Structures are given as structure tokens and as C-alpha cells.
A and B are shown apart, each in its own frame.
Chain A
Amino acid sequence: MTLKLPIYMDNHATTQADPRVVETMLPYFTQVFGNAASRSHSFGWSADEAVATAREQVATLIGASKAKEIVFTSGATESNNLAIKGVAHFYRDKGNHIITTKIEHKAVLDTCKRLEVEGFEVTYLGVDKLGRIDPEDVRRAITDKTILVSVMLANNEVGTIQPIKEIGAITRERGVLLHSDAVQGVGKTPFDVEEMNVDLASLTAHKLYGPKGVGALYVRRSRPRVRIATEMDGGGHEFGMRSGTLNVPGIVGFGKACELLTAEWRAEAERFRGQRNHLLDLLTSALDEVHMNGSFEHRLPNNLNLSFGFVEGESMLMAINDVAVSSGSACTSASLEPSYVLHAMGVTDDAAHSSIRFGLGRFTTDEEIEYVAKLVIEKVRKLRDMSPLWEMHKEGIDLTTVQWTAH
């Protein structure tokens, strides 16, 4: 097989749509193009049927007992907003306290910040060195004012998988709702809303080899029946929870993507694990001072987040510019702050600046793994030859004792 450049290894950011997904979507642009809310003709009925099928497919992937527990949205940013604001606004008479974590996606954190302005109180739980939440911290944080706990299934930077089942046992026992941003974990690690007592879950199609701009919020219908305030007013679509004409082709593609994963995800996860571990072996056997960020045990099988000591992340990205990966380095963000996720895990700023995230995907080949490993090894060596820190380290200077001129 010939290798094609550039290589995409940033599958936590988004994924290539699976050609089987695209093929399934196509008729819904030009043939079955009806409005799923049109009740008076076959164009509408056919579209509605396609949406119903997709609802089943999404529900099946996450173990939801009823298809109508799936509310289609424009993506996980909207789902997270709808879940957290929707619960907060509906249950505000019951309490004003929300518990979440410091390593959530901005769509959760900034939603919580907004609610704080509105008078809600939010507890942001810390994580351990490996990026894990201690379920007992959740238990201790719950008060009689707590209405919602929101913990992601897996983190988008370090791939750490959270103990959702253990947290779900606690929230169920205490009568508090549990929301999980399941975007990164679903289809890569077990996720079952019934077994884990999850009450709301956010999903997005574009991380699952489906199209961009379509997602879902799972909203539990029984034991307990979860209610949310609508955040988008209009025609009362999606059981009155989210108005707006449905993106039928997108939803059909999302459904197909979920159907494929239900059948294939376990085998796919094993393949990821093999390739990812091989990449790790290649890199760590050739290079010193390579540190893994996050847990190895509780980690998405397609994620590798490494700090290459004494090499700045953005310069690495530039050096391997025909390989698409990402970095927790400040230089890659507009804010010039290194990753808040790594920071919450106690990773030093130096190490955060040196971090590179590899995200394997369905279309990652073994040849690509070999190529990427070889390139990274070569470039790390080149950049270390240019790095004053590497030279000092080699001379035995402890860099933490040097008086730096912070700027």
C-alpha cells in the first residue's frame, strides 16, 4: 500500500465521514427531501420515517430503552448547553447547585460559568494525576441544593475514561441527575445509559465518522423522568425540547454511523489499541524523556498524549507538518495559556508545552503508524539538537533550579 500525505491523526477533533454513511445520506438531499414535520404528504412521512430509524439507531448504540429519549440537535455544543441549562432552568426551584469537573469541554464549562452569572453555584471537581475523577469526591460535593452532576465519559485531550458507572450509582442513590458528555467515549469504550444510570448524554455525529453539525441529547423518560426547559423556542419539534426543522440527511447519516459502530466498535477498539500501543513502543524505545499524560489503563484506545521533554509542541507540529496532530502547547491556542486539562492534572507548564496528542481513527493504517513514528523520532532529535534545555539537561543541570526570566 502506498502512503498518502498528509496523514490525519487528529480524530479527537473530528473524523472523516465513512463512505457508507455518506452514501446513506445522499438520497435525503434530492429525493427524500421532505420536511419531517410535514404531516400531510408522503414527502414528509418518508423523511419522518428516516428520522425515526435514525433515532432507533442512536438509541441502540447507547443502550437507551426508548427511541424517543433521543433529541436531535446541531451537535454536542448545543446538547451540552441544552442539558445543563435545560435542567438548571427547569429545576431551579429544587436547587441551584451543579457539580462538574475542571477537565470538561468548554461547551460544559462555559455553560456552567453562564449559569453562575444567573445565580447558580457550581462546584468544579479536580482530577488526580492521571486525569480521573474520584467518585467519592462527587458524593462529598452533593448537597441538598444539588440538582445536576455533569461528568464527561472520556476526555478529548488525554482520553481518560471516567468512572461514570460508579458516579451514576451515587447520583441515583442521592436523587441527583447525571449528565455525561459522551462525545469522545461513545463507540470506543462501553457506554450504556441504563447500566450506568446516566440521565442525560451528549453525542455528536462528526466524531463518529458521521457528518458535522448534527448531534443528540439523550433525555431519560422514566425512572426518573427527566424534564428540561427548552432553550430554543419555535415549532415544538423534538418532543417540544428543541425546535427547528430537522436536518434529515444529517440525522440519517448520524443514525447510520451509530448503526455501524454498534456492529463494529469492539473490533475497531481492539485495532486502535494495537496500533496505538505499537506507536507508543516505537517512540519510547527510540527516545528518552517521553512522558505519557493521563492514565494508560483508563484510556481511550485511540488516544496517545505524550510530552516530548525539552521540545516545544508547536515547533513539533511544524516539524511534522504533513501529519495532522495537535498540541497542548500555549502557542497553539489564541489565549497563549497551555492546556487547562493538563494543568488540572498537575502537569507542569513545561510539560504541557511539550505535549502532542495523537488521535487514531477508522482510516488509520499500520503504514501510517510506522511513518509517523519515524518522522516524530527524527524531528524530536533535530529539535533537541536545537534546544538549550536539552543541552542543559544532558550536562546534568536541574532545570527547576535555574533562575528563569519569566516574560
Chain B
Amino acid sequence: MAYSEKVIDHYENPRNVGTLDKEDANVGTGLVGAPACGDVMRLQIRVNDNGIIEDAKFKTFGCGSAIASSSLATEWIKGKSIDEAATIKNTQIVEELNLPPVKIHCSVLAEDAIKSAIADFRAKQAARLALEQA
């Protein structure tokens, strides 16, 4: 299969590969996909007190399109508020990377990864709030 130039670029120079401390209260972690399906994405965000995503990191097990989708996702969400980041749609990723139909699931996974990281962060915040109020 021929890859689009943008996929190759993200694949060869992935942005924001790495790991944030998942125990940190300001870090949200999303782990989506399954090894048996051939793709697993872990996307992490560090959110500051103003609700802005200061940093984002990913690691992905998957094909080139999956790696590119998660790399792009981290690039897009950095500097956005979590509410804004939550509005990113997989179709935008498909468009940006010129993904062919068989690779659409990679973009879906990247959207899920963002949502899942945000949900994790919010759950942590809620738990902390509950603790403070208790």
C-alpha cells in the first residue's frame, strides 16, 4: 500500500513520543485498542490549572497510519483546552493524513485515545475534589 506523504512524515518523525507519569494528578492517560486487533494507542495529556493541555505524549503499537494518527493527535491537542480537544473528530484526522478507507479505524482509535485521556484526567480531578470535600 502506498502511504500519503503526511503519514510517512509523521511515521518517520513522530511528534511527542514518550511517557508522562500516570500517577501525576494532572496527567490523564488513555489506552485504547487491543494487541489482538493489531493496534494499541496510549495517549497522555498534562493539563494545567487553566484546563489547558500543556503537554501530550503517545506510544503506539500499530501500522504506520496508526502511528501517524496518534502523532498528529498529540500535535493538535497541545495548547488546546480539554474542552476544545474533546471536539476533535476522526474525520479531521482522515482528511489531514489522506487515510484510505481501510485505515479509517486508525483515526477512530486516535479520537478514542484523546477522549479516553480526557476522561481519565476528569475522573482524577473528580476524585481529588471528592477527597478535598470529604
Contact = CB atoms under 8 A, between A and B. Distances in A.
Interface of A: 310-315, 318, 329-332, 334, 336, 338, 348-350, 353, 385-391, 399, 404-407
A127 B112 CA distance: 38
B41 A404 contact: no
25 contacts: A311-B61, A312-B62, A312-B63, A312-B66, A315-B62, A318-B64, A330-B38, A331-B62, A331-B63, A332-B1, A336-B102, A349-B37, A349-B38, A386-B17, A386-B59, A386-B60, A388-B40, A388-B61, A389-B35, A390-B61, A399-B35, A404-B36, A405-B32, A405-B112, A407-B109
Interface in B90-134: 102, 105, 108-109, 112
Contact of A404 (B14, B40, B66): B40
B53 interface: no
A312 to B, nearest CB: 5
Interface string B2-37: 010000100100100101000000000001111111
Contacts of A330: 37-38
Interface of B: 1, 3, 8, 11, 14, 17, 19, 31-42, 59-64, 66-67, 102, 105, 108-109, 112
Contacts of A353: 35-36, 38
A407 B102 contact: no
A388 B102 contact: no
B35 A315 contact: no
B3 A389 contact: no
Given A336-B102, A386-B67, A312 B38 contact: yes
Given A318-B3, A334-B102, A388-B41, A406 B34 contact: yes
A365 B43 CA distance: 42
B37 A407 contact: yes
Interface centre among B37, B41, B60, by most chain A C-beta atoms within 10 angstroms, is B37
B61 A389 contact: yes
Q: Main SS of chain B's interface residues?
A: mixed
B33 to A, nearest CB: 6
Contacts of A332: 1
A88 to B, nearest CB: 35
B36 A350 contact: yes
B42 A388 contact: yes
A332 B109 CA distance: 18
A350 B61 CA distance: 11
Nearest to A332: B1
Contact of B35 (A334, A336, A391, A404): A404
A27 B53 CA distance: 71
Contacts of B8: 318
Contacts of B31: 388
Contacts of A311: 61
Given A348-B36, A349-B37, A386 B14 contact: yes
A407 B34 contact: yes
A349 B112 CA distance: 22
Contacts of B32: 405, 407
- What are the 9 A-B residue pairs with the smallest beta carbon separation, nearest first? A404-B34, A349-B36, A388-B42, A314-B63, A350-B35, A388-B59, A353-B38, A331-B63, A318-B64
